[in-house]
A = this chain, B = another copy of it.
């Protein structure tokens, strides 16, 4: 068990109709003019955006709007948001969306807080942020956990580089989370979200740096809850209770709770997926599911006790004579689960067939960004990662 810091200042207001409190809360936090930042048509079509506008008006809060955030959110939209906020003298950013919109908002907040510096330098690992701008979120999809997390992932659409920057100052002031809002999501988005939620905990769970009985117990409970409710939602997408379980799990999975006492986790799958996402623009959670099995089979011998614990406590595998067999049965069981909710378990099922050259480029990009070797379950070289990509085809 390692020393840790746990810091989750975001106030979560969770449940039916909480989005109606947006105006009141934004005002309570001192906003006078808000940037309303969102994605595409669904928030408009479902009436959510109109609800939010009315709530802001009702509270006497001015706002300007910037929509059009795409999955794997783009740097140019971030720059556009910063310019708009400066021009309109905005003093608060309100994200209405999922991880992409919240991350785009976070990047805008970094930019507004240090207006003389280029925000992309943070993602290039050239400097640390020294300030942040007031931010809150109305969540529309359970997946990324960005509503409580310190992380932010942006893609430079010119270079296709998808990069993360993590900083505790970026945790939103508050998050409004109404599970009802997620009922209109297509099944593939819902289940990709579930895969992403699980992976945020699994990235932390599979490590060789440290563990804690309480953290493991919480992580295992969370994974079982998400699996159970992902399956319910696959056939009964209107189930409020299941929507709520998954939504709350999305926040707890990535706010740090499931990493306490660990070395922070492995994060190789996330980084490998970011390369795929940057190059092919796939849905993040589905991309993670497509890579995980290949990664797991490559590393499990070097992190065997954790894979055995996962197999038994999460996947319900009866311990086999050889630990290797228990671990492999657990890996297979999770792949079976992914298939049962319509998730891919390799890149082809994801709809992506990278050439050898593209694979080498992705492995090269990873090593340029993070050095070599990296990972915690097993330290991986550039060639290891190329192999994992090839085996995932």
> Which residues of A come within 8 Å of B, CB atoms?
1-9, 11-16, 18, 212-214, 217-218, 220-222, 224-225, 228-229, 241, 244-245, 248-249, 252, 257, 260-261
Report A292 CB to chain B, min CB distance, Å. Answer: 22
Report A2 CB to chain B, min CB distance, Å. Answer: 7
Report A128 CB to chain B, min CB distance, Å. Answer: 16
Asked if residues B8 and A4 are in contact (CB atoms below 8 Å), the reply is: no
- Taking A4-B15, A7-B12, A257-B257 as known contacts, 10 extra A-B pairs with beta carbons closer than 8 A to each other, sorted by chain A number, are A3-B14, A4-B12, A9-B9, A213-B225, A213-B241, A213-B245, A214-B222, A217-B218, A217-B221, A218-B218
Asked if residues A225 and B221 are in contact (CB atoms below 8 Å), the reply is: no
Asked if residues A245 and B212 are in contact (CB atoms below 8 Å), the reply is: yes
Asked if residues B12 and A214 are in contact (CB atoms below 8 Å), the reply is: no
Asked if residues B213 and A217 are in contact (CB atoms below 8 Å), the reply is: no
A337, B212: Cα distance in complex, Å: 22
Asked if residues A249 and B4 are in contact (CB atoms below 8 Å), the reply is: no
Given contacts A1-B241, A212-B248, A244-B212, contact A14 B225 (CB under 8 A): no
Q: Which residues of B sit under 8 angstroms from A7, Cβ to Cβ?
A: 11-12
A13, B12: Cα distance in complex, Å: 22
Asked if residues B217 and A224 are in contact (CB atoms below 8 Å), the reply is: yes
Contact pick for A15, options B3, B214, B221, B224, CB 8 Å: B3
A244, B220: Cα distance in complex, Å: 19
Contact pick for A260, options B213, B214, B218, B248, CB 8 Å: B248
A370, B1: Cα distance in complex, Å: 43
Report A366 CB to chain B, min CB distance, Å. Answer: 31
Asked if residues A244 and B217 are in contact (CB atoms below 8 Å), the reply is: no
Asked if residues B214 and A248 are in contact (CB atoms below 8 Å), the reply is: yes
Report A281 CB to chain B, min CB distance, Å. Answer: 31
Asked if residues A252 and B214 are in contact (CB atoms below 8 Å), the reply is: yes
Asked if residues B14 and A4 are in contact (CB atoms below 8 Å), the reply is: yes
Q: List 12 A-B contacts (CB under 8 A).
A: A3-B13, A4-B12, A5-B11, A6-B14, A7-B12, A9-B11, A14-B260, A213-B225, A214-B252, A217-B224, A218-B222, A248-B260
Using CB atoms, name the residue of chain B closest to A5: B13
Report A203 CB to chain B, min CB distance, Å. Answer: 19
Report A217 CB to chain B, min CB distance, Å. Answer: 3
Asked if residues A12 and B18 are in contact (CB atoms below 8 Å), the reply is: no
A224, B222: Cα distance in complex, Å: 16
Report A346 CB to chain B, min CB distance, Å. Answer: 30
A356, B286: Cα distance in complex, Å: 66
Q: Which residues of B sit under 8 angstroms from A241, Cβ to Cβ?
A: 1, 213
A252, B256: Cα distance in complex, Å: 13
Report A130 CB to chain B, min CB distance, Å. Answer: 14
A229, B212: Cα distance in complex, Å: 12
Between A3, A214, A221, A229, the greatest number of chain B beta carbons within 10 A of the residue's beta carbon is seen for A214
A11, B9: Cα distance in complex, Å: 8
Asked if residues B12 and A5 are in contact (CB atoms below 8 Å), the reply is: yes
A1, B8: Cα distance in complex, Å: 23
Asked if residues B248 and A229 are in contact (CB atoms below 8 Å), the reply is: no
Using CB atoms, name the residue of chain B closest to A217: B221
Asked if residues B15 and A6 are in contact (CB atoms below 8 Å), the reply is: no
A20, B194: Cα distance in complex, Å: 41
Asked if residues A14 and B5 are in contact (CB atoms below 8 Å), the reply is: yes
Q: Which residues of B sit under 8 angstroms from A225, Cβ to Cβ?
A: 213-214, 217
Q: Which residues of B sit under 8 angstroms from A14, Cβ to Cβ?
A: 3-6, 260
A11, B169: Cα distance in complex, Å: 12
Q: Which residues of B sit under 8 angstroms from A261, Cβ to Cβ?
A: 244, 248
Report A32 CB to chain B, min CB distance, Å. Answer: 23
A380, B185: Cα distance in complex, Å: 45
